[in-house]
């Protein structure tokens, strides 16, 4: 099966800045693919390379096997949901959604009917006559989604799609986007800096760092088996243990990661690993206890309802050795 | 331990007292801010406009040459006399042509400045657009008279380029042609466009700058060509700026009396008619009636623009 999108050694340099630097990537058809990374890591530039708003300075971009690096955006059968939605303020919702059909010369009656269908798909039936300015943030996002889907793209790109929404709405939209993608079977590629969003929505996640892909894998792989220190730290703020400490805990002399939820607090006496509590951070469902351990700062997630140590107390740490993940990075 | 720190800080002087007063009575500050401009606008500006309007409803006694202070529409009827009506048509036609010319020339310049120019180039743009406004209007107009005259640089350059046939063909055009560029409507139009161009470029550039890049990208993303994006997204969103610019170029042309006097076919424009009527002829009512025409034209123009949805995106 051909991949929906394939990057072969793709670079995008802006003068001396290497926004995207030799990226190889394969996005399977019909998948929900997340590009995750901090700002400036190159994930958005990669998205813009797929849509055609950026031209690669090196390498090849193939969309369904076709070399697309030199195809202008309006000729790519790929559509984008923009971060700021970019709805046209002078058109009503119906004309916004039908815009892609209008520029292709589809007759008015046909495109109005198609726009209504798309609005029904995103549960905004009856909103066609409103102006974007009269809608809430969540509604605007649905309009942007309907507008991008009206052209039946082969790939749908979403740039920080939920960034501007409040928490409750964001969670609802996550489920909805996921369901929509399943139903339509279109390849969705979305960019986010929120690891929770990437892990909960995507089939596969690419973690970006400094213009390169640090790791690609399923959410479980990226979270449970990070390949580099950066991935371990960025995806779920794992504890990163230096080689000496890994060795002390029975592993090889390599960097390793240990999830905060895999650690338990015990008495300091007789524990293999002990340290002083430096900070407590209440998270609602639990408390993150930061401990100044030997050679590394370690965080422990203590579930709500369990006893908490005081700051400055000496505590011991216990864990299942199977949870210690030794990383590829030396 | 921190030392004693008061809850309320001591008043330092009149500045603090005034700030406190305005904080308690925000409306007072508003009144103080608005009083001077409102006095100016209300009394000096609108007052004189009302006086003008009043004059236009008076008439002149043909024997004595004195103004008869009785309400009549006779003066307005006089505007419809062929010789006077020609002046109105000529002026409005020129204003429309100048506005169109300015819009066409200004758009690419404004678009470049809004979308591409950064830093140093942006400064160069502002300087380039504003520089002509710093020199005297009269100097520029007389300079243009020399440039466009029969012995001027344009004739010389077209001769040198072997294109004098083209220039002669243009000057041979009926109505807008003439003996030379400086004595034709084409010349008047060129100078009007030159002099008012900055007033079109600047509002257009401001309007274009407010169109987000993502909106142009969204249009292309959805399959639009450059031309479709221009027509469906950029122009509608920049229209308030185009209208603002055209209000300047249109009304400035309607009221000008110097350019058509120095460059052109010596046929009168509204401004010149007003000038001669209130001066040597002493026909203040007719001068006032002429002066009311540009105001009326502008009101109709704005109403049309509003109906076309020009201000919907504001």
Contact A74, B221 (CB under 8 A): yes
On whether both A33 and A55 belong to a single domain, the answer is yes
What average pLDDT does the structure give for chain A?
A: 91
CB atoms within 10 A of CB B99: 25
Mean pLDDT of B8-15: 90
Using the beta-carbon criterion (under 8 Å), do A86 and B225 form an inter-chain contact? no
pLDDT tier, B281 (very low <50, low <70, confident <90, very high otherwise): confident
Asked if B220 and A73 come within 8 Å (Cβ–Cβ), the reply is yes
Q: Is A54 left (phi over 0), alpha (psi -120 to 50) or beta?
A: beta
Residues A136 and A176 reside in one and the same domain: yes
Q: Which chain B residue lies closest to A99 (C-alpha atoms)?
A: B222
Calculate how close chain A gets to B67, using CA atoms only, in Å. 52
Selected residue of B223, B240, B312, B314 to mutate for chain A interface (largest A Cβ count, 10 A):
B223
A270-289 burial string, b = 16+ CB within 10 Å, else e? eeebbbebeeeeeeeebbbb
- In this complex, is the C-beta atom of A45 within 8 Å of any C-beta atom belonging to chain B? no
Q: pLDDT at position A300, please?
A: 93
Question: Residue B161 pLDDT > 70, yes or no?
Answer: yes
Q: Three-class SS of residue B71?
A: coil
Final residue before a domain boundary, out of A231, A252, A272: A231
Question: From the list A51, A74, A86, which residue is nearest B212 (CB)?
Answer: A86
Q: pLDDT tier at B117 (50, 70, 90 boundaries)?
A: confident
Interfacial A residues in 177-216 facing B (CB < 8 Å): none
Last residue of a domain, one of A210, A231, A252: A231
Asked if A84 and B212 come within 8 Å (Cβ–Cβ), the reply is yes
Question: What pLDDT digit, counting tens, does each position of A163-172 carry?
Answer: 878 888 888 8
Domain count, chain A: 2
Q: Quick count: other Cβ atoms within 10 Å of Cβ B77?
A: 12
- Do residue A283 and residue A143 come from a single domain? no
Secondary structure tally for chain B: helices H, strands E: 16, 2
A251 and A164 together in one domain: no
Minimal Cβ distance to A79: which of B222, B224, B225: B222
- Residues from chain B that touch A105, judged by Cβ atoms under 8 A, are none
> Residue B314 has what pLDDT?
54
User: Is B312 in Cβ contact with A151 (below 8 Å)?
Assistant: no
Residues A271 and A192 reside in one and the same domain: no
Contact B221 A88 (CB under 8 A): no
- B contacts of A73 (beta carbons < 8 Å): 217, 220-221
Pick A100's closest partner by Cβ from B223, B237, B313.
B223
> Tokens 């969204």, residue?
B218
Task: State the nearest Cα–Cα gap between A197 and chain B, in angstroms.
Answer: 24
Say which of A74, A89, A147 has its CB closest to residue B225: A74
pLDDT digits (tens, 9 = 90+) for B179-201: 888 889 999 999 999 999 999 99
Q: Do A83 and B232 touch (CB under 8 A)?
A: no
Average pLDDT score, chain B: 89
Statement to judge: residues A124 and A204 lie in one domain: yes
Minimal CA separation from A184 to chain B, in Å: 19
Note whether B190 and B183 are within 8 A (CB): no
Residues of A whose CB is below 8 A from B313: 89-90
Q: Which long-range contacts (CB under 8 A, 24 or more apart) does B273-276 make?
A: B273/B84, B273/B87
Give the tens place of pLDDT for each residue, A198-257: 999 999 999 999 999 999 999 999 998 999 999 998 997 889 999 888 888 888 888 999
Measured CA to CA, the distance from residue A288 to residue A265 in angstroms comes to 11
pLDDT at B133: 86
Pairing, β A32-36 against β A187-192: parallel
User: Which residue of chain A has the CA closest to B228?
Assistant: A103
In this complex, the residue of B217, B309, B312 whose CB is nearest that of residue A86 is B217
Chain A closest-CA separation from residue B126 CA (Å): 27
Closest CB to B313: pick one of A89, A147, A151. Answer: A89
Same domain, A22 and A148: yes
Would you call B237 and A147 a contact, using CB atoms and an 8 Å cutoff? no
Share of chain B above pLDDT 70, in %: 97
Give chain A positions within 8 Å (CB) of B233.
88
Instruction: Determine the CATH number of domain B74-307.
Output: 1.10.3720.10
Q: A103: which chain B residues are within 8 Å (Cβ-Cβ)?
A: 219, 222-225, 228, 232
We report the CATH number of the domain holding residue A82 as 3.40.50.300
Q: Which residue of A has its CA nearest to B309?
A: A90
Q: Does A148 touch chain B (CB under 8 A)?
A: yes
- Rg (Cα) of chain B, in Å, rounded? 26
For residue B182, what pLDDT is reported?
Answer: 87
- Find residue A200's DSSP bridge partners: none
Contacts of A158 in chain B (CB under 8 A): none
Contact A151 B222 (CB under 8 A): yes
> A181 and A300: one domain?
no
Q: Do B214 and A82 touch (CB under 8 A)?
A: yes
Is any Cβ of chain B less than 8 angstroms from the Cβ of A100? Answer: yes
CB contact under 8 A, B313 and A84: no
Backbone torsions φ then ψ of B161, nearest 5 degrees: -85, 0
- Is residue A12 within 8 Å of A56, Cβ to Cβ? yes
Contacts B236 to A, Cβ<8 Å = 90
Does A161 have pLDDT greater than 80?
yes
Whether A72 has its CB under 8 Å from any CB of chain B: the answer is yes
Number of alpha helices (DSSP H) and beta strands (DSSP E) in chain A: 9, 18
> Which position has the higher pLDDT, B314 or A301?
A301
Using the Cβ of A83 and the Cβ atoms of chain B, whether some distance falls under 8 Å is answered with: yes
**Which CATH number is A289's domain given?**
2.40.50.140
Same domain, A82 and A183: yes
Partner B, chain A 103-132, Cβ-Cβ below 8 Å: 103-104
| C-alpha atoms less than 13 angstroms from C-alpha of B205 in its C-beta half-sphere | 21
CB contact under 8 A, B215 and A88: yes
Instruction: Using the 3D structure, point to which of A201, A231, A261 is the last residue of a domain.
Output: A231
Mean pLDDT of A50-56: 94
* Strand order, beta sheet including A204-209: A78-81, A155-159, A187-192, A32-36, A204-209, A212-217
Q: Do A245 and A212 share a domain, yes or no?
A: no
Average pLDDT over residues B127-131: 89
CB contact under 8 A, A88 and B217: no
The beta-carbon neighbor of B233 closest among A72, A88, A104 is A88
CA distances from B51 to B25, B57, B70 (A): 37, 10, 14
Asked if residues A235 and A223 have their Cβ atoms less than 8 Å apart, the reply is yes
On the question of pLDDT at A38 being above 80, the answer is yes
Residue A82: left if φ>0, alpha if ψ -120 to 50, beta else—which one?
beta
Q: Band of the pLDDT at B3, cuts 50, 70, 90?
A: confident
Contact A29, A4 (CB under 8 A): yes
Confidence of residue B146 (pLDDT cuts 50, 70, 90): very high
Ordered strands of the A263-266 beta sheet: A263-266, A314-319, A273-282, A286-293, A296-303
Range of the domain at A257: 239-326
The pLDDT value recorded for residue B265 is 84
pLDDT in tens, B21-68: 999 999 999 999 999 999 888 888 899 889 888 989 988 887 777 888
Selection from B312, B223, B308, B235 nearest residue A90 by Cα: B312
| Ordered strands of the A256-258 beta sheet | A239-241, A256-258, A325-326
Based on the fold, state whether residues A17 and A154 are members of the same structural domain.
yes
A169 with A139, same domain: the answer is yes
Query: Percentages helix, strand, coil for chain A, rounded to the nearest 5?
Result: 30, 35, 35
pLDDT at A294 over 60: yes
């Amino acid at each position: 099966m051909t991949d929906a999108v394939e990057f072969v050694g793709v670079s995008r340099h802006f003068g001396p800045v290497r926004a995207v630097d030799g990226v190889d990537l394969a996005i399977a058809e019909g998948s929900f693919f997340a590009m995750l990374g901090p700002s400036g890591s190159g994930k958005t530039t990669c998205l813009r390379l797929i849509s055609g708003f950026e031209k690669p300075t090196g390498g090849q971009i193939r969309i369904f096997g076709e070399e697309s690096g030199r195809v202008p955006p309006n000729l790519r059968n790929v559509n984008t949901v923009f971060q700021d939605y970019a709805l046209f303020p002078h058109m009503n919702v119906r004309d916004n959604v039908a815009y892609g059909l209008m520029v292709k010369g589809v007759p008015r009656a046909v495109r109005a009917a198609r726009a209504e269908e798309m609005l029904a798909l995103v549960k905004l039936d009856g909103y066609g006559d409103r102006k974007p300015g009269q809608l809430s943030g969540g509604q605007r996002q649905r309009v942007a989604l309907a507008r991008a889907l009206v052209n039946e793209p082969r790939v749908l790109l979403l740039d920080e799609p939920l960034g501007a929404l409040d928490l409750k709405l964001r969670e609802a939209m996550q489920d909805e986007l996921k369901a929509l993608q399943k139903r339509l079977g279109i390849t969705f590629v979305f960019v986010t800096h929120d690891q929770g969003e990437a892990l909960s929505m995507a089939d596969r996640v690419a973690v970006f760092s400094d213009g390169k892909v640090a790791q690609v894998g399923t959410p479980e792989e990226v979270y449970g088996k990070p390949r580099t220190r950066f991935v371990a730290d960025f995806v779920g703020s794992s504890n990163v243990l230096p080689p000496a400490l890994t060795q002390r805990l029975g592993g090889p002399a390599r960097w390793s990661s240990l999830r905060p939820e895999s650690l338990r607090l015990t008495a300091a006496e007789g524990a293999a690993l002990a340290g002083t509590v430096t900070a407590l951070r209440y998270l609602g469902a639990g408390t993150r206890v930061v401990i100044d351990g030997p050679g590394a700062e370690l965080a422990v997630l203590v579930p709500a309802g369990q006893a908490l140590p005081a700051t400055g107390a000496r505590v011991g740490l216990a864990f299942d050795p199977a949870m210690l993940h030794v990383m590829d990075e030396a | 331990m921190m030392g004693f720190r008061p809850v309320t800080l001591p008043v330092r002087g009149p500045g603090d007292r005034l700030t406190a007063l305005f904080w308690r009575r925000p409306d007072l500050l508003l009144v103080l801010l608005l009083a001077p401009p409102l006095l100016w606008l209300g009394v000096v500006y609108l007052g004189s406009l009302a006086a003008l309007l009043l004059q236009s409803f008076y008439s002149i006694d043909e024997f004595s040459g004195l103004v008869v202070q009785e309400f009549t529409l006779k003066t307005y009827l006089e505007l419809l006399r062929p010789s006077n009506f020609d002046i109105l048509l000529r002026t409005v036609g020129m204003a429309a042509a100048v506005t169109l010319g300015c819009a066409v020339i200004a758009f690419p310049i404004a678009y470049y400045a809004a979308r591409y120019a950064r830093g140093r180039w942006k400064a160069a743009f502002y300087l380039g657009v504003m520089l002509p406004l710093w020199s005297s209007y009269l100097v520029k107009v007389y300079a243009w008279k020399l440039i466009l005259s029969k012995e001027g640089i344009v004739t010389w350059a077209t001769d040198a380029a072997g294109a004098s046939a083209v220039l002669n063909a243009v000057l041979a055009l009926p109505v807008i042609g003439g003996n030379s560029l400086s004595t034709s409507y084409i010349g008047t139009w060129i100078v009007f466009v030159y002099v008012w161009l900055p007033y079109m470029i600047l509002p257009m550039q401001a309007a274009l700058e407010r169109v987000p890049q993502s909106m142009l990208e969204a249009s292309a993303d959805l399959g639009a060509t450059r031309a479709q994006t221009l027509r469906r997204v950029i122009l509608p969103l920049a229209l308030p700026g185009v209208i603002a610019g055209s209000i300047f170029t249109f009304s400035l042309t309607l009221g000008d009396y110097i350019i058509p006097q120095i460059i052109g076919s010596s046929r009168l424009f509204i401004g010149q008619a007003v000038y001669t009527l209130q001066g040597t002829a002493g026909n203040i009512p007719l001068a006032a009636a002429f002066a009311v025409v540009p105001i009326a034209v502008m009101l109709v123009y704005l109403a049309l623009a509003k109906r076309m949805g020009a201000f919907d995106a504001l």
